[in-house]
């Protein structure tokens, strides 16, 4: 058996000297190192070696296996290196370089950034909060009674009895007022979730941005002036607007703001763009702010609908489709 191992090594070295390309190297591998090759066959024959010879034969077999494998790997590495050098030499460095395609911001992100920049110019700072919220932060602290329709399962995605996917970004206001003492002038953008039927005008996921101001000597006139300044910058100086009385559990008095919208070739109509109002004293009490000393106002708007109106989009679903043909327009 030892003589057979020695003879195999000599034959391998002779065949190795004849290798001159990857094809002949592969033939060498198949002959000696493949599953049915000469070296594995010697290992199969090892079981027939007598007990006295097993130690010496086993050592010789392992040396043969290591030697043949190392020789094969060394030659293959040389061929691979030569092949790579050959390919590199074929490159024409005089050709112009390939340009990388850089993506752009999604229309929703562009709209959020534009709104943020407008309110930053009015002295607002930007804050964010978690999308998974407690029932207390989403409803209780904001003066929602236990029997309010918004608590119903048909409107809210409840995770369990105490936690849900936030239905508005107002919980960020709660967290901010609990952690920061007035004066507060803050803007809160983010995703919100509502269990609504998906259609051209509504979606189960959308984006919202809310504002909050808490200080002394705050008035509804300041709230109106802030929002009028915003719509003129966002929609244009000639925008026509109005305020209507409304109701929200967390503001009193409350209002909705409409703008006059007249697409080309279509009949014009009033469109609601945001809700607003003076912060209800109960909300201030819930977050530990003295309503006798401080007063505030808040407003909130969706992002998708103002973007749709500004850019002439008639189906909200297309904003979530990731269709490159649509996205490249913006």
Name the residue ranges covered by the structural domains of the chain.
2-89, 107-327
pLDDT in the model for residue 179: 93
Judge whether 58 and 46 are in contact, CB under 8 Å: yes
pLDDT of residue 47: 76
Domain 107-327: what homologous superfamily? Bira Bifunctional Protein; Domain 2 (3.30.930.10)
Q: What tokens were used for 143?
A: 């003066």
What is the pLDDT at residue 46?
75
What average pLDDT values come out for the chain (330 residues) when binned by 10 residues?
A: 82 84 84 83 79 78 85 83 61 75 84 94 94 92 81 77 91 94 95 83 86 95 96 92 93 94 80 93 94 95 86 84 81
Residue 55: predicted pLDDT: 78
143 vs 123: CA distance, rounded Å: 27
Distance CA 40, CA 293 (A): 90
State the pLDDT at residue 101: 75
Which residues neighbour 195 within 8 Å (Cβ) at sequence distance 6 or greater? 153, 154, 155, 156, 157, 204
Structural element, H or E, at residue 259: strand 251-261
pTM over 0.85: no
pLDDT at 30: 85
């Amino acid at each position: 058996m030892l003589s057979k191992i020695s003879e195999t090594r000599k034959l391998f070295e002779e065949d190795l000297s004849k290798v001159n390309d990857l094809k002949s190297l592969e033939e060498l591998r198949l002959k000696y190192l493949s599953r049915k090759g000469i070296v594995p066959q010697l290992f199969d024959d090892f079981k027939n070696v007598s007990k006295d010879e097993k130690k010496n034969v086993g050592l010789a077999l392992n040396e043969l296996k290591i030697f043949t494998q190392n020789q094969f790997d060394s030659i293959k590495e040389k061929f691979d290196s030569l092949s790579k050098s050959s390919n590199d030499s074929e490159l024409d460095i005089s050709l112009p370089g390939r340009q990388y395609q850089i993506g752009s911001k999604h229309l929703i992100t562009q709209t959020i950034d534009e709104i943020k920049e407008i309110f930053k110019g009015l002295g607002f700072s930007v804050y964010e909060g978690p999308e998974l919220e407690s029932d207390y932060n989403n409803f209780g602290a904001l003066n929602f009674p236990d029997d309010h329709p918004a608590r119903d399962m048909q409107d809210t995605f409840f995770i369990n009895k105490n936690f849900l996917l936030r239905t508005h970004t107002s919980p960020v206001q709660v967290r901010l007022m609990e952690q920061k003492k007035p004066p507060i002038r803050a803007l809160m953008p983010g995703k919100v979730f509502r269990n609504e039927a998906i259609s051209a005008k509504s979606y189960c996921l959308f984006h919202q941005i809310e504002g909050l101001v808490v200080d002394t000597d705050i008035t509804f006139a300041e709230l109106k002036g802030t929002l009028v300044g915003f719509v003129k910058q966002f929609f244009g100086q000639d925008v026509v607007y109005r305020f209507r009385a409304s109701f929200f559990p967390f503001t009193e008095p409350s209002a909705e703001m409409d703008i006059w919208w007249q697409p080309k070739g279509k009949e014009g109509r009033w469109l609601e763009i945001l809700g607003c109002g003076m912060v209800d004293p109960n909300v201030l009490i819930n977050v530990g702010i003295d309503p006798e000393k401080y007063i505030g106002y808040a407003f909130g708007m969706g992002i998708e609908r103002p973007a749709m109106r500004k850019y002439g989009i008639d189906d909200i679903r297309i904003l979530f489709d990731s269709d490159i043909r649509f996205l490249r327009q913006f």
